[in-house]
Each structure stands twice: as structure tokens, then as C-alpha cells.
A and B are shown apart, each in its own frame.
Chain A
Amino acid sequence: MKRSLSALFGSTLLLLFFLLSAFGVYKNGAILSQETIRSTSHIIPENEAGIIHVDVGQGDSAIVVSKERKTMVIDTGDNAVSYAYPNIKRILDDNNLKELEYVVLTHPHQDHIGNTLSLLSDYDIGSVVLNGAVSTNETYQNILSFIDSKNISTSFVQKGDSLSLGSMKVDILASTPEEAESNENNASIVLLLTDGNFTEIFTGDAEEKTEQKIVSSFDSLPVDVLKVSHHGSHDSTSEGFLQLITPSLAIISVSKNNEYGHPHPETINRLQKRNIQVFDTKTFGTVTILLQGENYEVYTDRDSN
């Protein structure tokens, strides 16, 4: 009996090894395995929390799931990217997420709000979180009209506000609609997500001006993960900002061969100089961070090879 139990244990370990080796899996940034699997790396198991940086091509979208299955979508990618919304929807549906507590629109640029109307139509929405920027973007106007016609709840957030997502806390570090007059990127809602000891900062497209405002508000703001601002453009992710937040991991949402030169080599250099491990969606596809108490693991659709 003892022998067969041992054999069973051995087989289970072997199976676990094969399963793990089929993923791109990284524990607290260190590589565990770099094989490829595309079908299940974006699943957040029941009673666990996670953050899914969805591969939406040139654009931004992240799905945050608390261990109570409360869900927040931050930005919705660009509707000009054919696979952006199908990827968002597939991930929500594969995780059986039907109600979205919050849909955060960091700022009214097409590559961040492009699929919002589809999302608002397809899911039950708790509240749409807005910075209140005045913009001439037609999609933004259509979203505002849709929210009004469907009586969807809205939250116009300001610096210092906080939201609860189950046991997770979301602090608003910046939201400056008045900046949109000259630069909509700098009006971006910047969020700090906290789950136990884990923290991730989501920066929208905030540029150095907004980063500096955050720097001047905190003596120290260490985070585990940085969602790199503005797809790795050189006008964001400044030295001072990195010095404040000292992330271990950086996620860049960007498409292959984009015409904007994202991510900029200067930005990559600033991250690498600080030994920050970088995952970009153009290389790795969707990047999922699974939160497991003190630790987190990173699962990717593809490996870097």
C-alpha cells in the first residue's frame, strides 16, 4: 500500500512537472519554466486572485480578479485591433466572470476605450470609473451617452479616493481631468492595487509631468509590478518615478511592429538598468499574475523564444 501510494505521489509529481513545464511560468520574477501553452494560462482559479494583462495589440487592457471573484477591467483596448475585444471577452468568459464591479477608463484615447461599448453591452456593470476629462473623441461621447441611456452607475474619481474590490484595495494616485486640455495622457487615472502584501501600479498613459506629481506626494511607494505607462514611450517611466516605486516586474502592453516605436529603447534601458524584469505583450502575449499569499507567479501565453 505504502509502495503504491508512493508511486501515485511520484506520478502526480511527474504530471505536475509536465503541466508546469507547458506554461511560461515565473515565480516572483524568477523563471520557473519557459515552455508554451496558449489555452489555460489566463485562468484565475476559484478562491485565488490575479491580474490579467490582456494582449490587445497596440492598446491597453487589464482584468483584475479578487479572490471573492470581484472583477475590475482597466481600459478596453482599441476597436481597430481585430483580436482585442475577442481576447478580452474570451478571458472573461473562460474565467466565468459575468459581472464587472468596475470598468475603469484611464483616459479617453481610442487605444484605451475602443471596446468599452461592447463590454458595457455584454456584461453586468457595477460602475464605470472616469476621470471626467472633456474630449472630442466620438467613441467617448458614445460611451457617455450609452451610460446615461442605460442608467449605469459612474464614479468620477480624484486623487486620494479609494475603491474596494473584494479584499483588494484600489487607491487613486492621480486623476487630473484639467490636464486633458493640453495633454490627455497626463489626465490618466493612475491606480495602486493592493492585495495583502502585493502591489501593482497601473499608470494609463501618464507622462512624466503626472509621474512627478506622484513622486512629490510620496517619500516611498514600493510596488511589486509596474504596468508601464504609454506602451513604453520615452515620455514616461522617468528615473525619478522608478526610484520611487522600485518595481521588480514591468508589464508593457504593445503590438509588434507598431508605427510609434513603442517601447522606446530608452525606457527599456531605464528598466533593465534597475534589473526590472520586463514582460511585453508583443512577445509574451497575455501576461497573467497569479497572487498566492506572499508570492505571485507570472504565466504567459508564449515564451520569449
Chain B
Amino acid sequence: MKSTQTEIRIDRIEANYAVCIRNGVSFQLPISILPIGVKEGDILNVFFQGSNQRKTQERQKTKELLQKLRKKQ
């Protein structure tokens, strides 16, 4: 998976969500995951990088939970 970088603009803050705009399309992000003090009009650079290691760990966690439940059936 390739990493990507993009720019999003904060249109407004609605309750606990920031309404963001990218290429004219709006979407919501919880304020809790954004930099502290973010406000409307701010422009954020966002860097996305996949983590295969974390994906494998989380899949393994689910597998183990399912195995445990199957054994109890």
C-alpha cells in the first residue's frame, strides 16, 4: 500500500465533529482525532500510511476471539 498526503479544509465545527472539505466534497471527522485548537477555516495536511503490522495484529486478535468462542460452542 502506498502512502498519500492530502490537504483538507475545515469548513465548520458541528458539535464534536469537524466538517471537512476536500475537492468540494464534505465529510466529517471527530474533533478528538484532530490537532487541539483546530477551528473553522484551518487547513490541515494529512498523511496516510497503511500499517500492515497493525492490520496483522488486529486480525490475529479477532481470530483468537473467534477461536475462543468456537471452542465454547
Contacts and interface: CB of A to CB of B under 8 A. Distances in A.
A259 B58 CA distance: 28
Nearest to A132: B66
B55 A141 contact: no
B62 A144 contact: yes
Given A134-B59, A136-B55, A136-B58, A144 B66 contact: yes
Given A134-B59, A136-B55, A136-B58, A141 B65 contact: yes
Interface string B35-73: 000000000000000000001001101110110111011
Interface stretch (A147-155, A226-234, A275-283): A147-155
B69 A141 contact: no
Interface string A138-165: 0011001101100101111000000000
B59 A147 contact: no
Contacts of B58: 136, 141
Q: Is the interface of B mostly helix, strand, loop or mixed?
A: helix
A135 interface: yes
B73 A134 contact: no
Contacts of B65: 141, 144-145, 148
Contacts of B59: 134-136
Contacts of A140: 62
B59 to A, nearest CB: 5
Contacts of B63: 134
A134 B61 CA distance: 9
Contacts of A141: 58, 61-62, 65
B70 A156 contact: yes
A154 B66 CA distance: 10
Contacts of B55: 136
A155 B66 contact: no
A154 B73 contact: yes
Contacts of B61: 141
Contacts of B62: 134-136, 140-141, 144
- When A and B form their complex, which 9 residue pairs have the shortest distance between CB atoms, in order from nearest? A144-B65, A136-B58, A154-B69, A134-B62, A134-B59, A134-B63, A141-B62, A132-B66, A148-B68
Interface of B: 27, 55, 58-59, 61-63, 65-66, 68-70, 72-73
28 contacts: A132-B66, A132-B70, A134-B59, A134-B63, A134-B66, A135-B59, A136-B58, A136-B59, A136-B62, A141-B62, A141-B65, A144-B62, A144-B65, A144-B66, A145-B65, A147-B69, A148-B65, A148-B68, A148-B69, A151-B72, A153-B73, A154-B69, A154-B70, A154-B72, A154-B73, A156-B66, A156-B70, A156-B73
